[in-house]
Amino acid sequence: METSEKLELVRRYLDRIINAPLNLTAFRDLQEAFTHLYIDSVLAVKPHDLGECFLDVGTGGGVPGVFLAIEFGKRGLLIDSVCKKVEYVRRVCEELGITNVTTMCIRAEDLKNSGNYFESFDSAVCRAVASLATVLELTVPYVKLGGRVLIYKGPGYTEELGNSVNAMKELGVKLSDVRCYSIQGKDRYLLVFEKIANTPEKYPRRAGIPEKRPIR
């Protein structure tokens, strides 16, 4: 797909989510949404980060999953526990011909019991707001050995990183890169983790536990 075609598709998708009949984003201006949703999703990502198939945990309005699928042409499974959001994203992708995206209404903790998903993705991404240790538990178990986990964070990530050392060790990942970039003068960070060991099959723990009791 040519760059101009990608951008047109992105703008059409953004128009659908900022004017959705449900709350998918706080942005109502197309240019603001383009910057804070699309640019933020793709700017620091490199094509080889994703592999051929990625998982987007807590996708909400399809962010960053839909934009990564458009930009890099990779296949993505986008999951969220709010079914009306997932259904809206699915319907818009279908209408716009975004065929390399699949959606599923499910909590990340329950995905491993819903099919052959454990350690099956080349990568996982998450832009949802939660502690780093929690996000790692909800993403790492689904990534293949040698795969990557990409987590979007703000400036406060360093303290979270310090609190996630045991989670990284337990889940089998190491931090391989921190990419700093700026969105309208605000620093943003993409944390890139590499999976270096298999994750114990008990992870992720049952629904709610990763958030209430992060691995320490």
How far apart CA 110 and CA 34 sit, in angstroms, is 32
Q: For 146-156, what is each residue's pLDDT tens digit? A: 999 999 999 98
Do the Cβ atoms of 33 and 55 come closer than 8 Å?
no
How far apart CA 197 and CA 195 sit, in angstroms, is 6
Widest Cα–Cα separation across the chain:
46
Tokens of 201: 């099959």
Question: Residue 132: what pLDDT?
Answer: 97
CATH number for region 3-212: 3.40.50.150
Question: Residue 195: what pLDDT?
Answer: 98
Is 75 annotated to bind a ligand? Reply is no
Is 194 annotated to bind a ligand? Reply is no
Question: Residue 67: what pLDDT?
Answer: 98
- Sites in the chain below the pLDDT cut of 70: none
The residues spanned by each domain of the chain are 3-212
Tokens of 144: 């293949």
Question: Residue 1: what pLDDT?
Answer: 84
Is 188 annotated to bind a ligand? Reply is no
Is 109 annotated to bind a ligand? Reply is yes
Do the Cβ atoms of 145 and 195 come closer than 8 Å?
yes
Question: Residue 129: what pLDDT?
Answer: 83
